[in-house]
A and B are shown apart, each in its own frame.
Chain A
Amino acid sequence: GQNIDQPTEMTATEGAIVQINCTYQTSGFNGLFWYQQHAGEAPTFLSYNVLDGLEEKGRFSSFLSRSKGYSYLLLKELQMKDSASYLCATGGYNKLIFGAGTRLAVHP
């Protein structure tokens, strides 16, 4: 079957580091995507991993292990504006499956 799991909620402090994990099982694989979605808005693309390893993009990094079916999104130097839902997505055959999202609350 196809399944994506990620924690429902996380909290963190402004300026800290947070890691959001995602495990997946899919029948095809065309890469692992992370999206950020603020309340009431559309998702915006953050990162894409197709090979194992870490991809760094400013304060955000994303890691992939295809053999383990595992990815994480690392957010450094957290800011209040990072409070949002983070969606993990993967799939194949021209379709993506989305996780339910991890709601991150950043506190002062």
Chain B
Amino acid sequence: DGGITQSPKYLFRKEGQNVTLSCEQNLNHDAMYWYRQDPGQGLRLIYYSQIVNDFQKGDIAEGYSVSREKKESFPLTVTSAQKNPTAFYLCASKERESDTQYFGPGTRLTVL
């Protein structure tokens, strides 16, 4: 089955700790994206990657970091520098033919 997986589904961390969210896809898509969604709001772009070993900052990159060492994987690290990390984090990959983005199930991060 082709798709996008994110783990874990729920994540709790203490203030001051870094945490890494996983995103894997087997759709053979080149481009991958990380978004953040806060209650009652739209999706805001954190980072995106068009190709392996390359990525660009989105609108709210401060306090986050990413890597793209493999086509299938695009992990996001939420660092202690991120002031309000509690949110729903969504990973997506993009189909080249239509520019359509498809989302993983998301990770809900709560900072205690």
Q: What is A's interface to B at a CB cutoff of 8 Å?
A: 4, 30-31, 33, 41-45, 48, 87, 89, 94-96, 98-101
0/1 interface trace, chain B 92-112, chain A, CB 8 Å (1 if under): 001000111111111000000
What A residues does B43 contact at CB under 8 A?
43, 87, 89, 98
Interface residue SS majority, chain A: loop
With CB as the reference atom, state the residue of chain A lying closest to B44: A98
Secondary structure dominating the interface of B:
strand
Given contacts A31-B98, A42-B90, A48-B98, contact A98 B103 (CB under 8 A): no
Residues of A within 8 A of B103 (CB): 42-44
- What are the residues of chain B within 8 A of A4 when measuring CB–CB? 42
* Given A33-B100, A43-B90, A95-B58; A87-B106 close (CB under 8 Å): no
- Docked pose: A31 CA to B94 CA in angstroms: 13
CB distance from A19 to the nearest CB of B (A): 20
Report yes or no: A100 in contact with B90, Cβ–Cβ below 8 A: no
What's the tally of chain B residues with a CB closer than 8 Å to chain A? 22
The reply to whether B90 and A95 contact each other, CB–CB distance below 8 Å, is no
Closest chain A CB from B40 CB (angstroms): 7
| Contact status of A45 and B100, CB under 8 A, knowing A87-B42, A100-B40 | yes
Chain B residue, CB-CB nearest to A42: B103
Contacts of B105 in A (CB 8 A): 41-42
List B residues 64-112 near A (Cβ within 8 Å): 90, 94, 98-106
